[in-house]
Structure 1
């Protein structure tokens, strides 16, 4: 993926990883659209950045995705990069019967959302020069956090989906997966100051270094490799013990 001259859509661009990636790509000379549900948060991301453009949509609503994509391509016909970053995370007790509303919302937002948005944009992207799809998964795709079982499962599925997309879109659209470790964001309450989690700025610095030097198919910062390579290195049970303690 080239580092400048793109028109980039970042979902979940109102906070956390999405916000910081949007601002860094803007600094490199890209047009960036930040999209999500919270208009005020998106406006905050864009404030002071002339070429960051907020657009409101609901990634969990198929009809709104179709409406959003029509508006998006109408306003930004040069769009050539999709960043599927929007996601939610809920802790859950899977040991007893419960209300599955949070689990179902997690599947819809974290997995069906990227699948639907990719489907809505793939024909357009395939016609663009330098086209790319960037999916933001998680180290928990490789070693789950048991108290966030559904979140972990959706990220494992997104990792698998990214591999399939990469194989099928080879030569037409580049497919890159960003694999975050535990990062200090507000994905869960109090996480932005949690000890032992990677500071957001450090994480984004490390990600952008890889993009600027030619992003590999999987962008794994050093902290993410502890989980990404656990099974291959025979450390899976040890790594699971770590995620169980989070």
Structure 2
């Protein structure tokens, strides 16, 4: 198996793309840990997929993020791969109809959350090596006519550039 024994952390791993990644990587032999703020969804996914570990944590809270990473390091000794997958897609609204709180929430989850998790794992990956995968969107690469999700687009475009900056 290609990922035998690799320790992989997937944010937003309880549903959608994150859940599918968890399922695939588990079949490839990885030890997969999923995280989300929704413990009920985490338990359900862990039960469905089997051989999945989970740690509840809110990506918008630095203390939660640090606790998730500490728990994984304590249990497994390392994190080989971080998949920054957690994200939120807001209701479609034109820019002048988005409240400042809605804007901040999208940026905080889709961009700042990736920063928090990356910052938390880097000290451990600097010792042992590892990979970080940031999940973005086509909306972060180009604009679409009548696609009224400006905060989402801005957050995903910023994540694309942040990923490039980190890779240098």
TM-score, length of structure 1 as denominator length: 0.63
Q: Distance in 2 between matches of 1:137 and 1:165?
A: 15
Aligned to 1:3: 3
Pairwise mapping of residues 1-246 of structure 1 onto structure 2 (< 5 A)?
3-90=3-90, 91-96=92-97, 98-129=98-129, 131-145=130-144, 146-167=147-168
- Answer with 1 or 2: which has the greater Rg: 1
Deviations 1:164-189 (A, max 9, x none): 1111xxxxxxxxxxxxxxxxxxxxxx
> How far off its partner does 1:66 sit?
2.0
**In the alignment, is the contact (CA less than 8 A) between 1:144 and 1:153 conserved in 2?**
no
1 or 2, which has the higher helix percentage? 2
> How far off its partner does 1:48 sit?
4.6
4+ runs deviating over 6 angstroms:
none
Root-mean-square deviation (Å) = 1.6
> How far off its partner does 1:78 sit?
2.8
> How far off its partner does 1:55 sit?
0.9
Number of equivalenced pairs = 164
**In the alignment, is the contact (CA less than 8 A) between 1:9 and 1:81 conserved in 2?**
yes
**In the alignment, is the contact (CA less than 8 A) between 1:23 and 1:45 conserved in 2?**
no
**In the alignment, is the contact (CA less than 8 A) between 2:88 and 2:106 conserved in 1?**
yes
**In the alignment, is the contact (CA less than 8 A) between 1:66 and 1:120 conserved in 2?**
yes
Gaps of 5+ in 1: 168-246
Aligned to 1:207: none
Deviations 1:130-182 (A, max 9, x none): x1001000000111344000101110011111111111xxxxxxxxxxxxxxx
TM-score, length of structure 2 as denominator length: 0.90
Gaps of 5+ in 2: none
